[in-house]
Amino acid sequence: MKALKNVLIILTTAMILTGCEEKNEEYYLNNIDSANKKVEQCNQDLEKAFIANDKGGIEKVEKNPECRAAMSAIEKDRKIKYELEKKRKEDEKKQAVESEMSAIRQQVSGMSWGESVDEYLKVDECKSSFSFNKSPKCEAWETVYKEKVDEGKKELKQLSFNEIKEKMQSLCKLDKRTGSKCSVAQKALEEKAADELANVDIQTIESKKSLYCAEDLVFQSACNVSWEKAWKKESDKYVKFYTENNAEFVATYNSCIDKLEAVKAQKLNWNEENKLQKAIKEGYPCSQVKDAYTKRGMGYSWFYQKIEE
């Protein structure tokens, strides 16, 4: 009997001590209901202290370890639940996209890249979808569409530049919308031009302008992106060279004036003379030496007067 009484005393003491232990964040994180009750109590104590203008009471509540631990646990619990819910939705959408993808791949099976692109353009709901709010169907279609675009560009780029250009006539005949077969062909033409102009000298780039910037291509990316980019890259090198090298700058600048004078000496009509002189001024090396003239702080060059050596 005495032994039983001792055990009861020990258990009662342990329970009292456990009850008196300060509860930390880990405890409240595992007992969110207790955390909410504790925060509610802390808020009530804070309100009472505030009404009573009890600065000491306010400070006591604000610094109370259990109040702070409970609030921190609630915030962490909120973040954990948010991440879990986010992951659940992502997994759910991933499954939906995969299901849609399977159906779309079956739909376009056996179709050419062009026919697949046409099918994509028929999906009205995807035309107005914002990037942050796409349906599983639109996400799946977008993946398939990009694959078919890459397939189309790869196929077209096996042809020569002029053959792609000729192919565009049929691909662009009835549909020139963004994303259509026509736009795929235009992109293939742009990339073909960029590939062919990579690592070639400025004179070759200049000679190819009539091909890549022909009258019917002047507003196409093959001209205003690929050719212009290649020209600028090489042109900038010569502008820098003429800016930094006096002898070559003077000799080239004066030779440009000689070329312009030679055209003038032919006594052509104004239109013909202007056309030839414009080609000289805008071509290599006169265009670059003219820009170097400006970069040297010498003003704008009209090629009126030679530079004394």
Q: Where are the domains of the chain?
A: 22-108, 110-122+132-211
pLDDT band at 16 (very low <50, low <70, confident <90, very high): very low
Return the number of other C-beta atoms located less than 10 Å from residue 151's C-beta: 16
244-291 pLDDT per residue, tens: 999 999 999 999 999 999 999 999 999 999 999 999 999 999 999 999
Phi-psi region of 307 (alpha: psi -120 to 50; beta: other; left: phi over 0): beta
Q: Could you give the percent of the chain with pLDDT greater than 70?
A: 92
Query: What pLDDT is recorded for position 104?
Result: 97
* Neighbouring C-alpha atoms within 13 Å toward the C-beta of 257: 13
pLDDT average, residue stretch 25-32: 92
Q: What is the pTM of this model?
A: 0.75
Residues 203, 284: Cα–Cα separation, whole Å: 7
CB 295 within 8 A of CB 242: no
The mean per-residue pLDDT over the stretch 138-155 comes to 96
User: What residue spans of 172-306 are helical by DSSP H?
Assistant: 181-197, 202-207, 209-212, 221, 228-244, 246-264, 270-282, 286-295
Q: How confident is the model at residue 5 (pLDDT cuts 50, 70, 90)?
A: very low
- DSSP state for residue 75 in the 8-state scheme: H
- Measuring CA to CA, how many Å separate 213 from each of 188, 218, 228, 276? 15, 5, 9, 18
64 to each of 76, 145, 161, 179, how far by Cα in Å?
18, 59, 76, 62
Helix (H) or strand (E) holding 1: none
In the structure encoding, which two tokens stand for residue 33, read together? 């209901």
CB 152 within 8 A of CB 114: yes
Report the pLDDT averaged over residues 204-219. 95
Place of tokens 């569409």: 145
Of 37-51, 89-103, 118-132, 168-182, which range is least confident? 118-132
Using left for φ > 0, alpha for ψ between -120 and 50, and beta otherwise, residue 224 falls in: alpha
Mean of per-residue pLDDT scores for the chain: 91
Q: For residue 109, is pLDDT > 50?
A: yes
What is the reported pLDDT for 131?
64
In terms of Cβ atoms closer than 10 Å to its own Cβ (0-12, 13-18, 19+), residue 219 is exposed
DSSP state letters, 126-177:
GTS--TTS--HHHHHHHHHHHHHHHHHHHHHTTS-HHHHHHHHHHHTSS---
- What does the chain come to in residues? 309
Distance CA 61, CA 41 (A): 10
What confidence tier does 134 reach under pLDDT thresholds 50, 70, 90? confident
User: CB within 8 A of 221, min separation 6: which ones?
Assistant: 186, 187, 189, 190
As a whole number of angstroms, the distance between CA 74 and CA 78 comes to 6
